[in-house]
Amino acid sequence: MALRALKFASLTAAASGIYLYGNKFLDPNDFGVVRVGRAIATIKELFLSFEDTPLGAASLAQVHKAVLQDGRTVAVKIQHPKVQAQSSKDILLMEVLLLVVKQIFPDFEFMWLVEEAKKNLPMELDFLNEGRNAEKVAHMLKNFDFLKVPRIYWELSTRRVLLMEFMEGGQVNDRAYMERNGINVNEISRNLGKLYSEMIFVNGFVHCDPHPGNVLVKKCPASGKAYIILLDHGLYQVLSESFRMDYCRLWQALIKADMKRVQKYSRRLGAGDLYPLFACMLTARSWESVNRGIDQSPVSASEDMEIRSNAAAYLPQITQLLNNVPRQMLLLLKTNDLLRGIESALHTRASASSFLNMSRCCIRAVSTYQRNKSHSLYRRAQISLAEALSLWQINLYELFLWLKGSQLGNWVIALLRRMHHFTY
């Protein structure tokens, strides 16, 4: 539902200057010379080869495959020449259009779109900032050996040209590609959930553009291991500690179907009396499913249809909610919707493992926060023990689910039933 409400932004972008040249391929020869790092050189001097046809082109930039003089294969991200000069005009035009819409439809509040564009667009246009984000998230998630983030070649990068390690693979929502290449779809979905749970709940530093073109998968022929490749690090959201803790506790309440705490933490995050709608937007589940427990049953076709129809019916309330929640929430809602779209394409949506991973990260995040706030060694020990017990319970439950779904588990259950039968 949140994604549908946010799609209004695309209408304003379509009327802006960005759209006019957004889909037109940029000829690298238009540059004549390219300033890279501290050097100014022609493309022929910098590269042994440079593919004129871009691997991908978007409104702000496009990416080309090239080979450096020393033989390294790189991806070259080049910003469109007019973007810097045009961006301020685009934002002004967006602001005027939204003011007009507000005059026609007073109940619809979209001015936050302008605020977000003013904040995020300059960061996205600074490719050095994108490079720093890439290095930060690679270091932050270095314990996940299935994650690959392209290395940045700083000596050859500027604010408008970014050179990075070339990586390729299939898009993360391409189930057919994974099946052809022997990649476990459930494992990929589970690992992607782990990455984002770690970013959101534990670190509060979130890659907010996980559309399928920015998340690739590839299987290493030598090891047989499947990797997730995370691209395009221009748009990140930094979460404040207080917001992150409230968000952790809200998701814990949603997973446990603790409606009192769902109401409490939804209100703390700005939802007010619209907390049932807020819970439905976060989970993409009906209020009935939220009350029953979102991990109790997968999304049915009828429930999905109900959510789609209600999105239009509740658009004024959704607009009000988006205007009231903290700005940090807006990109998280967009990110949640993109991740949910990937899960839907892979047919792994609402799996028990995704909720277990979220629970682990929430427990770790809250426990770390409590330990940092406590000055008592005894209290810290209590928190650590409670954390260990909670994580152990999750591991035990995960083992139960694995046994329940495995052949070995079926044999164990059959054996226990037979022993029970002989006993009586």
Element (H, E) at 64: strand 61-68
Of 248, 247, 250, the closest CA to residue 260 belongs to 250
Element (H, E) at 140: helix 127-140
Q: Of these residues, 90, 126, 174, 209, which one is catalytic?
A: 209
Element (H, E) at 330: helix 327-346
> What are the backbone dihedrals phi and psi of residue 397, each rounded to the nearest 5 degrees, phi first?
-65, -40
CA–CA dist 51, 76 (Å, integer) = 10
CA–CA dist 60, 322 (Å, integer) = 26
Of 146, 173, 149, 170, the closest CA to residue 233 belongs to 149
Q: With 0-12 CB in 10 A as exposed, 13-18 as middle and 19+ as buried, what is 423? A: exposed
Q: What is the four-CA torsion angle of 118, 123, 125, 127, rounded to 10 degrees?
A: 180
Of 188, 210, 233, 226, the closest CA to residue 75 belongs to 233
SS3 152: strand
In the annotation, is 209 catalytic? yes
Q: With 0-12 CB in 10 A as exposed, 13-18 as middle and 19+ as buried, what is 17? A: middle
Please list the active-site residues: 209
